Amino acid sequence: MTAVICAIALGSNLGDSPRILEAAIAQLDATPGISVKQTSRWYQTAPIGPPQPDYLNGCALVQVQLTPHQLLERLLEIENQFGRIRRERWGPRTLDLDLLFYEDAIVTTPNLAVPHPRMRERAFVLVPLAEIAPDWVDPVSGEAIGQLLQRIDISGVQTLYN
């Protein structure tokens, strides 16, 4: 299988979030068929949904030799390794890994939508993604990440550290 570049969003607001996010990156990179190429800084972001602590969010570019569904399966496995429990939509979590892009593919199946359907409205995704891939063109809108970022409110996103 030919290697493709993918974009993944990472988030955490329960437990030792910086350690969890760094360990998740290491787990991704240690997975056969996945190579982490670049990561953004971590950003503290206001939560969406029920009352809960602020999140730490970031993005990573990975080179994979997996299908989109195989990659999704691995992301879910890593979430589970870090104690992810799905109680309520947009609720707090130890780890959230979302597949944003799989090169320029558009995938719509019952358990996977790529590009991620809500990423264009989410500053906590677009800010870190624009840091590492500002020119990546969203195949649905036809616009680059940097262009999408200009249209949303980013006031709830603060750089945590470099």
Backbone angles phi, psi at 141, to 5 degrees: -85, -20
* Residue 153 is among the residues annotated as catalytic for this protein: no
Tokens of 106: 């558009």
Packed helices 68-81 and 17-30: angle between N→C axes, nearest 10 degrees: 140
CB 78 within 8 A of CB 96: no
Instruction: Point out the catalytic residue in the list 29, 41, 84, 104.
Output: 84
* Residue 96 is among the residues annotated as catalytic for this protein: yes
CA distances from 157 to 64, 76, 150 (A): 29, 25, 14
Surface-to-core class of residue 10, CB atoms within 10 Å of its CB (0-12 exposed, 13-18 middle, 19+ buried): buried
Please state the length of the chain: 162
* Residue 93 is among the residues annotated as catalytic for this protein: yes
CA 25 to chain centre: 11
Instruction: Point out the catalytic residue in the list 74, 98, 120, 122.
Output: 98
* Residue 138 is among the residues annotated as catalytic for this protein: no
**What are the catalytic residues?**
84, 93, 96, 98
